Chains A and B, each alone.
Chain A
Amino acid sequence: MTLSLHHFLMLSAILFGIGIYGVLSRRNILGILMSIELMFNAANINLIAFNHFLYPNQVWGQGFVIFVMTLAAAEAVVGLSLVLAIYRNIKSVYTEKLNILHG
């Protein structure tokens, strides 16, 4: 059986669903960040697969993947420094403890 485009797209859809479940169900901010990384990777698999199967002589999809990876790195750095600042202030990394705006 040779691999077709929709096999890769279905794999990335499953990965994206797992990432959505993680974002919605995690209590821990670090767990939410890790699930967001999973969703980024699902999108990257999509871009690479479309590039490989539909436009095999161009590399625009791979260029976009490089940009997505760079943005993911920036997002992870800012997010993790925010996590450390939050942990210094309220001594917890769980989202339900973050209720200091709750009047």
Chain B
Amino acid sequence: MREFPTLARWSIRRRLLVPLCALFIAAMLVLYVAARGYGRQAADTSYDHLLQASVLSMTDSLQLVQGTWHMDMPYAALEVLSLAANDRVFYRVTDGAGRVVTGYPDLPAPPRLTADDPQPALFDAAYSGELVRFAVLRHEIAGPEANAVAIVQVGQTRLARDALATDIVWRATLIIGILTLAVLALVWVGVHRSLRPVARVERELLTRQASALSPIESPVPRELVQLVAALNGFMARLAGNLDTLRVFIADAAHQLRTPLAALRAQVQVALDEDDPAEQRRSLIAVDRNAARLTRLVNQLLSDASVNHRSSLQRFERLDAVALVRDALQDVVPQADPHPDVIWHCALAHAPLQGDALMLREAVKNLIDNALKHGSPDRTPVVVTLERDDESWRLTIDDQGPGIPPAQAQTIFDRFVRGAGTRAGGAGLGLSIVRRVVEGHRGTIVLSNRVEGGLRVSVRLPAA
């Protein structure tokens, strides 16, 4: 079992909620900071207007009488500031030389005064134990001798501003908070709803019979169609394999029953026989049948093995020349009577991609068939390997009876034996060969030669 990182096991809900939470918390922080800046600015703007109005109305009431400033302060100058109900107010009027005309003499000085600004300048400074917002205006009028200057400064503590700013921030934060919670709740519900089809598929799979391999029918969202299609495809292949297996087991059992029955009958005959000669003849028959059975079982195993290997598709680079030579070595008996096999091959190497074991088995089967059925009087069997375009062609010619045209196709099916063949074949050989050849993307053709005899022609793609 592979070790997956912990992240891979996270639930979908968690995968969605964790980044969304992080995103929204980050957004909340950013918005909170922005709201604080904005709140303070908005509060300052509203109350700064009052402060400036106060300065302007004071300035408006200034009069220069014989070189001395006089001010008849309008009631509204300070009353307007009482809109910030609990804030203290301070003011001062000085002349150009810095002499106090009226008001609080010890107010903090403005940072720097611009001469010609029509609007009062604004600044914060500590006074009387509190931070105070000041507005200050430099007022200049032409006097009889020189220009006279008055500086009007009005300040107000920040209680109302701070309260308004805090209020703005809290309202904004509250809205952001509610929004965040709503979004997270929606995500939670949304995830739950989107995962419902998965649960439905799960329930359908859990409740169905073990043998039921029909496609999943629950409707699923588009994102899951691929997954369900893959699952359905997998189940279809599984069902196919199971069918093949079932048919094979039934066929195999059927095939094994006949020789076993014959075997038992002959053993019975041998047991009932008193004459040793007859007994021996029966035992010979038993031996022949046992050999046939062995061959059948071998073929079944070979078939199963080919089946297994063809599904694995473990191909490697092979040399067809060596492969056929090895097969000949294996299949042609070296002892007398020595059958006549003629091996034609002009190639030094014939590379191809394939499974050596399967291919050797197939070639052995073909040569074995030719020797068994196509060489009645030990007439020679001709094996030829040659190049044909992008493939290798292996032909095996014999002098036998050939096959009736009607059987040219069915001969490849399992447990089908050629007409007139002697007992001993299980009818699996050509079926195995064809599976192997087709597994290598090759072709196999059986044809009767004009001069008599059967030609098996196998074509395999060259590497």
Is B truly associated with A?
A: no
Give B residues with C-beta under 8 Å from A.
Answer: none
A interface residues (Cβ-Cβ under 8 A, vs B): none
